[in-house]
Amino acid sequence: MKESEFVPEEKDMLQDDAGTAEPEIVEPAGQEATAEAADQLTEEISAIRQEADENRERLLRLAAEFENYKKRMERERDTLVKYAGENILREFLVTVDNLDRALEQGTAESDDPQKQLASFLQGVELTRKVLLSGLEKFGVVPVASVGQPFDPNVQEAMTMESSTEVPASHVLREFVKGYRFKDRLLRPAKVVVSAGS
């Protein structure tokens, strides 16, 4: 045999039925396992993407619901502010009705003007009581002043007068009654303070 001639050994060649030699293709042992792992990872990625999309949709829906909630609360607040005085005004309407009745009574013709005047004054007094009662429902109450020690936090001294009946630095009388609204001073009483005797 010559050195330049190469004769393949039988183990290097596979013979098919026709007798031609084909090289053997051998897959690595881990390639099938790697393909399965890749398929599994692809499925997991797909599931994670789907979950992320669902979470994103849920977040967008919640954000929209919250925005609608804020708008609804703002509308309700605006409505409450707009109509906050409705109950107070309803009480004033009762007072207006009573004043109308008192005026009708005062202008009606009568045989006894003295009786008519007394009836008129009684109507005005009842109207005043209804008005004060309505104010009290909403937390407006008068500040007690006459006979009390002068308190510059709730009273405004207009003048001083000598008095033998009321001690010095006490309120002798009121020009204008003071009122509180709940825990705040709504209006100070304008008073005359006793200078003593």
pLDDT of residue 6: 54
Is residue 170 over pLDDT 60? yes
Q: In this predicted model, what pLDDT tens digit does every residue of 118-163 receive, in sequence order?
A: 888 888 888 899 889 989 998 999 999 999 999 999 999 999 999 8
Q: In this predicted model, what pLDDT tens digit does every residue of 49-76 receive, in sequence order?
A: 999 999 999 999 999 999 999 999 999 9
Q: Residues of the chain with pLDDT > 90: what percent?
A: 48
Amino acid residing at 21: A
Q: In this predicted model, what pLDDT tens digit does every residue of 84-106 receive, in sequence order?
A: 888 888 888 888 888 888 888 77
pTM of this prediction?
0.56
Q: Which tokens sit at 10?
A: 């039988």
Any idea which fold 140-197 has?
A: Nucleotide Exchange Factor Grpe; Chain A, domain 2 (2.30.22)
Q: Which tokens sit at 97?
A: 């009705």
Q: What is the dihedral of CA 145, 148, 154, 157, to 10 degrees?
A: 80
Distance CA 33, CA 30 (A): 5
> Is residue 25 very low, low, confident or very high in pLDDT (cuts 50, 70, 90)?
low
Q: Identify the H or E element spanning 31.
A: helix 31-82
